[in-house]
Structure 1
């Protein structure tokens, strides 16, 4: 389903043109892929999950620099809760687990992050303090990332995986299963963090 032609949507530098390409070429793939992820998550965890595909409706001038689908466990919306995203920057696919700057009950997540820190590092996920940047740092930066998240209110906490468009994997094709496996592997942090928060309430 996914292939190197996915990135051609970013070659259109106009707002309307890029949005039309995203709607025509990527959103149908997101719908299929995301629905499959929802089924697997709900079968695996026997819990409810919700999906949102980005529509970029607030953009009035500049074309979106990336596009994505998001999955979380709160039907009211995903941005103020722990959530997973799968999407594309112009040069890579990304799969991330995020706690954004304005997440509800932010301070409650600090000890949870410390609890799972070694596991996240040992699994080799990329990490970042900025969900609006495509770059993920190596996992051994996670101590700095957590500390920054605790000390800087405007910062995010991002854990994830990226697959560069220039990689041999993308050139070879047939990597849908890899993306699915990485997403499902990362999903355990969404469920675990939500359970940790629930146990505190």
Structure 2
């Protein structure tokens, strides 16, 4: 079943209190992540020839502060995704995101950064409407177009390589006003277009090793 976003989904992130927000997240948003998990686990497995597994954010470590975003992640490991390059589909209060991530837990992130720096033209060939960020808590990021023009793209990749907490996330943001206007089929089409664009970058990330 195709996922249709509503105003109520985004408004979950305005609810005060950890327990109350988590209840609303579980009720309104998590069933949609479960649908996305079914659809895109099959998609990634067929595209890569490697078995992918879905990981729906549980926010289990949170004791006080309610989450400002939530997501379903996809990676070729049943036990976890943070140590691997992975895809995420999720939302902040302001937008839906469809992204490819290398976060600070990835032991191969230096090699990932080298692979991307050595193939910078492949990254620059992505739609310039995409965004990049070096922090998975950053809801805004920088447009890829701007990041290419002012050198932020290279700086983020060098930071990924040299700084322990360095991260690199790239993909599409769909503002909530636009997302709630999309039918489930239109969202699915936009998601698949985005993932197709990101797949060559994923292959560069996934081919990085510790040697």
TM-score (norm 1): 0.88
The partner residue of 2:4 within 2, 5, 9 is 2
Count of matched residue positions in the alignment of Structure 1 and Structure 2: 197
| CA distance in structure 1 between the partners assigned to 2:44 and 2:197 by the alignment | 10
How far did residue 42 of structure 1 move? 1.6
| CA distance in structure 2 between the partners assigned to 1:76 and 1:132 by the alignment | 23
Maintained 8 Å contact 1:127/1:158: yes
Maintained 8 Å contact 1:100/1:157: yes
Q: RMSD of the alignment, in Å?
A: 1.9
| CA distance in structure 2 between the partners assigned to 1:92 and 1:142 by the alignment | 22
| CA distance in structure 2 between the partners assigned to 1:39 and 1:162 by the alignment | 23
| CA distance in structure 1 between the partners assigned to 2:24 and 2:87 by the alignment | 23
| CA distance in structure 2 between the partners assigned to 1:157 and 1:60 by the alignment | 27
Flag the 1:152–1:44 CA change in 2: closer, same or farther, 3 A.
Answer: closer
| CA distance in structure 2 between the partners assigned to 1:142 and 1:185 by the alignment | 17
| CA distance in structure 2 between the partners assigned to 1:81 and 1:116 by the alignment | 19
How far did residue 13 of structure 1 move? 1.1
Q: Secondary structure at the match of 1:112?
A: helix
Q: Which residue number corresponds to residue 172 of structure 1?
A: 181
Deviations 1:63-107 (A, max 9, x none): 111100110112231111111111111101111211112311332
| CA distance in structure 1 between the partners assigned to 2:180 and 2:84 by the alignment | 35
Which structure 1 segments of 5+ residues have no match? Answer: none
Q: Which residue number corresponds to residue 183 of structure 1?
A: 195
Maintained 8 Å contact 2:55/2:72: yes
Q: Secondary structure at the match of 1:118?
A: helix
Q: Secondary structure at the match of 1:172?
A: coil
Deviations 1:103-155 (A, max 9, x none): 11332223211133212222123111111111121221311211222232222
Flag the 1:165–1:176 CA change in 2: closer, same or farther, 3 A.
Answer: same
Flag the 1:159–1:116 CA change in 2: closer, same or farther, 3 A.
Answer: farther
| CA distance in structure 1 between the partners assigned to 2:74 and 2:175 by the alignment | 22
Q: Secondary structure at the match of 1:58?
A: coil
Q: Which residue number corresponds to residue 19 of structure 1?
A: 22
Maintained 8 Å contact 2:109/2:160: no
The partner residue of 2:100 within 97, 100, 111 is 97
| CA distance in structure 1 between the partners assigned to 2:119 and 2:23 by the alignment | 40
Which runs of structure 2 are paired with 1:34-53 in the superposition (5 Å)? 34-53=37-56
Maintained 8 Å contact 2:83/2:103: yes
| CA distance in structure 1 between the partners assigned to 2:192 and 2:93 by the alignment | 20
| CA distance in structure 1 between the partners assigned to 2:6 and 2:118 by the alignment | 38
